Structure 1
Amino acid sequence: MKANIYIDGFNLYYGCLKDSPFKWLDVSKLAQALLPTDTIHQIKYFTAKVSARPNDPDQPMRQQTYLRALNTIPNLTTILGRFQTRKVYMPLVNPVEQQNKAYVVRTDEKGSDVNLALHLLHDGHRGDYELAIIISNDADLVEAIRLVRQDLRLPVGVLNPQIKASRPSAELRRAATFVKSITKQHLRASQFPPTLTDASGTITKPTHW
């Protein structure tokens, strides 16, 4: 079947890549490994640009390097959301002098789940795929999956990236046509080579990845 792959980049990263040696992930190889009998038509990767942090000033550079690597995949498109930073008044773990709350700066990624759902529905309505695959364990995508299956009569599979909590969201299990788990073996077998090239030059796997 002609399959489109929709990837929630942060859900994938925090689900199975963050503390692993497999961050240099070729998502096209991963999709082919998990869907060996299907034809991968389009891959859409949803993420947002990160900012430098005092304890990790090189984080944006590593992300940019990885996005360059991803964009060497001919049928992959990157769709960017944004981060929203705001002050929130939250409880302290250890209250100080009867002060049990404090203002903290909270940063939330916005847009990836909404963008993913919109592209899933839009592509389905224009007949761009016979099978949709979502790489995420985000239950916020349940309604979009339900609409594609119910209104368009198209199958939607979920590849669950949550290795530590191997069971996917119960809501996703009920909504999807099928669910498969991404394993360490899949990740190990789906790495980019250490160096790649694009129109701007050489892309090198970040140190310690």
Structure 2
Amino acid sequence: MLAYAMAMRTRIYVDGFNLYYGCLKGQPHKWLNPFLLCQNLLPRNSVEHLRYFTAKVSARPNDPDQPVRQQTYFRALGTIPQITVHLGHFLTHEVTMPDAAAWRQGRHVPRHVVKTEEKGSDVNLATWLLMDAMDNQFDCAVIISNDSDLKEPISLVRNRFRKAIGILNPQRNVSQALRPLAHFIKPIRGGALGNAQFPNTMTDSTGQFQKPARW
């Protein structure tokens, strides 16, 4: 257990896609203020900064407005001075993969498909987590992700730099690789998401803008 004689200087590291696919996709809480969410979930911590790691999405035939919604969300994040957005990228390439639903002559039928992978977010998160630890920017690092690939950098921050580690878990189960590294783990539930929404109408240096209608 951690002692809270005084509020711990806390920085938040958000894996945007892990958060989205873990608890936002198909839900009505996408207009999320992640800084407010963390303040609500960590009332005994002094939440000083939040780094949000994601990548720009592209239009799809079935969802041509997807990039517009994302840019509007970036505008909302930009109204919070304590939030920094770090962008990775998507890599799209053609590959041949077996079709699990098609079986012929003792093997799955190969299909030529377009594969899109998000690149950079986990590496960027790990890099900034370690950099901020080396620069003594926090007493406690809180990671919003359930990605076991973050095991090594989190372990270094805890054991080499002697920092407290928290995980706000966006998924149903906690990664068994991350569980033993955390001083505390909290689930992100629908009620907490609903209580941390941006206003429907917002204003930034460019002017007024609205929450996307489909959100």
* TM-score bracket relative to the smaller structure: over 0.9
Answering whether residue 46 of structure 2 is matched by residue 39 of structure 1, we say: yes
Which residue pairs with 1:173 in the alignment? 179
1:108 partner letter? E
CA apart distance, 1:208: 2.6
In the alignment, does 2:31 pair up with 1:28? Answer: no
CA distance in 2, matches of 1:44, 1:94: 40
Amino acid aligned to 2:175: S
**Deviation of residue 97 (structure 1)?**
7.5
1:108 aligns with 2:117: yes
Cα shift readout 1:74-133 (whole Å, capped 9, x = no counterpart): 111000000011111101234388681021100000000110000000000001111100
The amino acid that maps onto 1:151 is R
What's the counterpart of residue 140 of structure 2? Answer: 131
Misfit runs of 4+, over 3 Å? 93-99
User: SS at the partner of 2:150?
Assistant: helix
One-letter identity of the residue aligned with 1:158: I
Aligned counterpart, 1:50:
57
Q: Does 1:7 align with 2:14?
A: yes
Q: Which amino acid aligns with 1:171?
A: A
1:148 and 2:154 equivalent? Answer: no
Letter in 1 for 2:206: S
Structure 2 residue identity aligned to 1:84: L
* Greater displacement, 171-180 / 121-130: 171-180
Name stretches of at least 5 consecutive residues in structure 2 with no aligned partner: 1-7
**What's the CA shift for 1:203?**
2.0
SS at match of 1:171: coil
Structure 1 Cα separation of the partners of residues 80 and 146 of structure 2: 24
Q: Could you tell me which of 189, 198, 202 is aligned with 1:192?
A: 198
TM-score, normalised with respect to structure 2: 0.93
Q: Percent identity?
A: 54
Instruction: Give secondary structure in 2 for the equivalent of 1:102.
Output: strand
| SS at structure 1 position matched to 2:178 | helix
Deviation, 1:149, is 0.7
Instruction: From the superposition, tell whether residues 170 and 97 of structure 1 become closer, same or farther in structure 2 (CA, over 3 Å).
Output: closer
Q: 2:207 aligns with which of 201, 206, 209?
A: 201
Offset at 1:40? Answer: 1.1
- Confirm whether residue 71 of structure 1 aligns to residue 78 of structure 2: yes
User: How many residues get paired?
Assistant: 206
Q: Which residue of 1 aligns with 2:3?
A: none
Alpha-carbon distance between aligned partners in 2 of 1:122 and 1:103, rounded to the nearest angstrom: 41
Q: Supply the distance in 1 between the matched residues of 2:209 and 2:177 (Cα, whole angstroms).
A: 39
| Distance apart, 1:28 and its partner CA | 1.1
**SS of corresponding position for 2:177:** helix
CA distance in 2, matches of 1:180, 1:170: 15
Q: Pick the aligned partner of 2:92 from 85, 90, 97.
A: 85
